[in-house]
Structure 1
Amino acid sequence: MSDVNGLFVQAQDDVKQLRERPGNLTLLRLYALFKQATDGDVHGDKPGFTDIVGKYKYDAWAALQGTAPDIAKQQYVELVEALKNGTAA
């Protein structure tokens, strides 16, 4: 297992242990980075206007199109670390 993969797995556990729930924009960023890291570029049909949450998730993931999975994993790890340290914007 490469170093980034181990850190990514650890970050997935760490994010569940955060003292405070991140804001919606941060949650969207975490979701999009996770999906890009594990599934690659966005696929499937974009949800319709009646599925607002699904639409936002799809758009957040689509914004990362072309990002390499290892880069997405590293960014996910960095964001979780920032959340743990209270330095996330």
Structure 2
Amino acid sequence: MKPSKLEEAVALTQKFTSKPSTEELLKLYGLYKQATEGDNEAERPGGFDFKAAAKYNSWLAFKGKSKAEAAEEYMGLVEKLAEKYI
């Protein structure tokens, strides 16, 4: 079975030769979660788990965006980052 364009974009991120910034990584995470799961309905993580809170907030920032829109935005961001990190 042929991988979807979203799966291909995820695979492309594995080829990055250097690590994107924290801000870029969080945006990728939020868009990916929105594209694959839709709106964030999870419970907010505890106060001292800063990494989990940042990821939660990044996903929450895309609330209301359709899965298709989020997938398109994710793929566009991966292409842009690929120029910088491959």
TM more than 0.5: yes
Task: Please state if 1:21 is matched with 2:19.
Answer: yes
How is 1:47-66 mapped onto 2 (pairs within 5 angstroms)?
A: 47-66=45-64
How far 1:86 moved relative to its partner?
A: 2.0
Task: Please state if 1:78 is matched with 2:69.
Answer: no
Gaps of 5+ in 2: none
Distance 1:72 1:44 in 2: 18
Gaps of 5+ in 1: none
Task: Please state if 1:30 is matched with 2:10.
Answer: no
TM-score by structure 2 length? 0.90
> Structure 1 segments of 4 or more deviating over 4 A?
none
How far 1:48 moved relative to its partner?
A: 1.6
Any idea what the Cα deviations from partners look like across 1:17-47, whole Å, max 9, x if unmatched?
A: 1111101000000000000001100012101
TM-score by structure 1 length? 0.87
Partner of 2:4: 6
Matched-pair identity in %: 33
Distance 1:48 1:21 in 2: 27
**Aligned to 1:10, what secondary structure does the other structure show?**
helix
How far 1:7 moved relative to its partner?
A: 1.7
